[in-house]
Amino acid sequence: MDKRHKILVLDDDSDWLALCRDLLTAVPSRPEILTANTAKRALALLETESVRLLICDLKMPRIDGLQMLAIVRRQFPDVRTIVLSGLEDESYRSRAYALGVDLFWLKTEMQRNSKLFTECLESLLGRDQDVGFRGIQSKSLMDIIQMECLSRSSTVLRITRGPLVAKLWIQDGELIDAETEGARGEAAFQRALAWKTGTFENLPAEPERERTIQKPINALLLESAQNMDEAINPSEEPDLVESASHRKTMWKLSQLTREGADFVVAVPPEGQGEPEALGTQSVAAFSQWTRHTAEIARRLGDRLEAGPLLHVTGHNQERQVLMLAHGDRAFLIGWPTEVTENLPEKSRKLVASWDS
């Protein structure tokens, strides 16, 4: 007999917990449903039960949903997470994905499309590897787009990779437009298609959207596949290998210039490779400072039970710097003093683009 997975639902609304229990008991794999109306109770259950998936509200007293997700990410990294919230502010969605949640759903959308929600949930219960794109099932973005076009769907695919967001407009099975940070049309489509992992969501169709992409979807996918093959399997000839490396460096330099940063230093864990940098010659000194600061912040976070490090900032009269963690690396980004708006968000986007 297959083992039943356990789902923990955290919400301070008892009526909503009852509604969720009724919905989730009808899931085909018949998971065991646990509920908690406080973060403290939920953490106690996570300690004693083998929970596979946490469904968490955001607006709660004392410990809110974002704080709870940060704690779960640090203490229970194998637990899958879904945010199910009534808060429609896009900033909450971005902050939740930045914390590493698997899916973000609005409560109203879940009630309107409960079948798709349970399909997404089933996928998370059965997925053991963090690869591909998270949605109805773990597939490549190419597979997802082909599926939508072959079924002649009309929808908007919203693709999220950390702080990066792309949208693809599909009308009657044809890709008509794409948009991501700083690009639109075919360029935006190819940029999004290069992302190795992420989360996608189906949004309502926008039939009045202006068409900017004229090529058939199969032609676009073929071009993209050829470009990826060239990037992944360069010739063994030294000059072509060097050319591929140069293109990668130029791409990162263009990202640096476009966002307006002075420099970036990417620092891997001690003993796991050399730091990588653009825009500065002080790589060794910056790397040592970044590792030291990240370790101090980690110890402080553990002592205060404040969750993982988000970022550290500092400045002088000439420059400001921001340090943040991304995956297993720490990044130090230097910015001109005149850049003042949304510095953490700009830094997260630059870092996410670095590995695209």
CATH classification of the domain holding 26: 3.40.50.2300
Question: Does 36 fall in a domain?
Answer: yes
Number of domains in the chain: 3
Strand order in the sheet with 174-180: 133-134, 198-203, 155-161, 164-171, 174-180, 183-184
DSSP state string for 268-308: PPTTS---EEES-S-HHHHHHHHHHHHHHHHHHHHHHT--S
Nearest of 331, 160, 145 to residue 255 by alpha carbon: 331
Per-residue pLDDT reduced to its tens digit, 23-50: 888 888 888 999 999 999 999 999 999 9
Residue 294 and residue 321 in one domain: yes
Residue 100 and residue 162 in one domain: no
Compute the Cα dihedral for 60, 63, 67, 69 and give only its sign.
negative
Report the share of the chain in percent with pLDDT over 70: 82
Per the CB < 8 A criterion, the answer to whether 125 and 119 are in contact is no
Residue 123 and residue 167 in one domain: no
Residue 197 and residue 302 in one domain: no
Nearest of 217, 27, 196 to residue 122 by alpha carbon: 27
If pLDDT is split at 50, 70 and 90, which confidence band does 114 have? confident
Question: Does 204 fall in a domain?
Answer: yes
Report the share of the chain in percent with pLDDT over 90: 17
Phi first, then psi: what are they for 265, rounded to 5°?
-125, 120
Per-residue pLDDT reduced to its tens digit, 272-306: 888 888 777 788 888 889 888 888 888 887 788 77
Question: Does 302 fall in a domain?
Answer: yes
Question: Does 92 fall in a domain?
Answer: yes
Name residue 332's beta-bridge partners: 265, 323
Residue 317 and residue 265 in one domain: yes
If pLDDT is split at 50, 70 and 90, which confidence band does 161 have? confident
If you average pLDDT over every residue of the chain, what do you get?
79
Of 165, 195, 229, which closes a domain? 229
Residue 152 and residue 225 in one domain: yes
CA distance 259 to 123: 36
Phi first, then psi: what are they for 298, rounded to 5°?
-65, -45
> Taking the model in full, what pTM does it have?
0.46
Residue 123 and residue 149 in one domain: no
Identify the domain containing residue 117 by its residue range. 6-128
Per the CB < 8 A criterion, the answer to whether 176 and 209 are in contact is yes
Residue 120 and residue 152 in one domain: no
How distant, in Å, are the alpha carbons of 34, 231, 235 from that of 241?
53, 10, 6
Amino acid 133: pLDDT: 54
Question: Does 135 fall in a domain?
Answer: no
Residue 247 and residue 311 in one domain: yes
Residue 225 and residue 247 in one domain: no
Amino acid 270: pLDDT: 82
Of 212, 229, 246, which closes a domain? 229
How distant, in Å, are the alpha carbons of 38, 57, 68, 69, 103 from that of 20?
16, 12, 19, 19, 16
Question: Does 133 fall in a domain?
Answer: no
Amino acid 194: pLDDT: 79
Of 229, 259, 289, which closes a domain? 229
| Coil, helix or strand at residue 131 | coil
Question: Does 116 fall in a domain?
Answer: yes
Residue 183 and residue 147 in one domain: yes
Question: Does 53 fall in a domain?
Answer: yes
CA atoms within 13 A on the CB side of 347: 29
